[in-house]
């Protein structure tokens, strides 16, 4: 078995297409990404925010650095390269990938999955699986530096470079150990990611009215199941696939 020492790398930038500057949009006076970072700090794992060199991200960088979190700046569009160089700079051997538009991601869920994950080699990729069960925005991916470097060297298409992990979950070399989460949670139709104003409206309501930034994944899922009107706030939003 291989011992893992994960670094969390959050990809975040101000130039998102559908909702620009969303990571810094305030909820109760705090930028949205601040809630995510506070929740992820509960893992006690090293955290790096990987953003781009575009000056549009300066406000984001200043805020994150004020929180005492490391920042890496790289390519605006080649997120795979940005991830690889960030991991390389901080000598990461294992990387947990999350995106800055998922403010309610649960540190306890991440730690619970790590507690039961024992990779047999350095060629692994841990994720939710093809048949998604979690609400969108509550998942993560983890992979070894060895596989990340291989993806960086071999990815060819624009979508592969923008989304970091297609090389891994497609198992392009057919020799990556793909492992799925161990969970009984099942609410795949819920959207707890922020791509649009409707998404932000839901997250804002969950934090302001229901204090979900203090809740774990199971508690949030139970709340949504008991209040279907919450799910209707952004039920019409289409989630783009990585290949679109």
Rounded to an integer, what distance in angstroms lies between the CA atom of residue 90 and that of residue 107? 21
Cβ atoms 79, 164 nearer than 8 A: yes
3-state secondary structure of 178: strand
Number of domains in the chain: 1
Rounded to an integer, what distance in angstroms lies between the CA atom of residue 192 and that of residue 235? 11
How many CB atoms lie under 10 A from the CB of residue 22? 24
pLDDT in tens, 39-48: 999 999 999 9
67: CATH:
3.90.550.10
Q: Dihedral of the CA atoms 123, 129, 130, 134 (nearest 10)?
A: -150
**24 inside domain:** yes
**202 inside domain:** no
**81 inside domain:** yes
What percent of the chain has a predicted confidence (pLDDT) above 70?
Answer: 97
Cite the DSSP H helix spans in 135-182: 145-154, 158-163, 166-169
**103 inside domain:** yes
**43 inside domain:** yes
The pLDDT of residue 114 is above 60: yes
Burial class of residue 19 in the structure, from the number of CB atoms within 10 Å of its CB (0-12 exposed, 13-18 middle, 19+ buried): middle
Q: Once rounded to an integer, what is the mean pLDDT over residues 226-232?
A: 97
| 240 or 139, higher pLDDT | 139
Q: Once rounded to an integer, what is the mean pLDDT over residues 70-94?
A: 96
Structural domain harbouring 69: 6-187
**114 inside domain:** yes
| 110 or 18, higher pLDDT | 110
What's the whole-number average pLDDT of the chain? 94
**244 inside domain:** no
Comparing 8-22, 59-73, 87-101, 215-229, the range with the smallest average pLDDT is 8-22
Comparing 88-97, 157-166, 180-189, 192-201, the range with the smallest average pLDDT is 157-166
**90 inside domain:** yes
């Amino acid at each position: 078995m291989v011992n893992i020492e994960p670094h969390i790398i959050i990809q975040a930038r101000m130039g998102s297409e559908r909702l620009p500057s969303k990571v810094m949009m305030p909820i109760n006076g705090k930028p949205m990404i601040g809630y995510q970072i506070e929740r992820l700090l509960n893992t006690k794992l090293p955290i790096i925010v990987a953003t781009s060199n575009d000056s549009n991200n300066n406000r984001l960088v200043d805020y994150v650095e004020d929180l005492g979190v490391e920042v890496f700046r790289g390519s605006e569009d080649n997120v795979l390269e940005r991830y690889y160089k960030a991991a390389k700079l901080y000598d990461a051997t294992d990387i947990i990938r999350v995106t800055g538009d998922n403010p309610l991601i649960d540190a306890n869920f991440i730690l619970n999955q790590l507690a039961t994950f024992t990779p047999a080699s350095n060629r692994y990729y841990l994720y939710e699986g093809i048949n998604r069960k979690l609400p969108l925005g509550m998942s993560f991916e983890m992979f070894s530096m060895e596989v990340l470097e291989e993806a960086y060297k071999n990815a060819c298409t624009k979508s592969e470079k923008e989304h970091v992990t297609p090389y891994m979950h497609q198992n392009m070399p057919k020799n990556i150990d793909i492992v799925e989460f161990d969970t009984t949670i099942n609410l795949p139709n819920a959207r707890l990611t922020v791509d649009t104003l409707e998404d932000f409206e839901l997250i804002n309501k969950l934090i302001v009215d229901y204090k979900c930034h203090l809740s774990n994944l199971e508690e949030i899922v139970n709340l949504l199941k008991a209040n279907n009107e919450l799910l209707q706030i952004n039920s019409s939003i289409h989630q783009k696939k990585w290949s679109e």
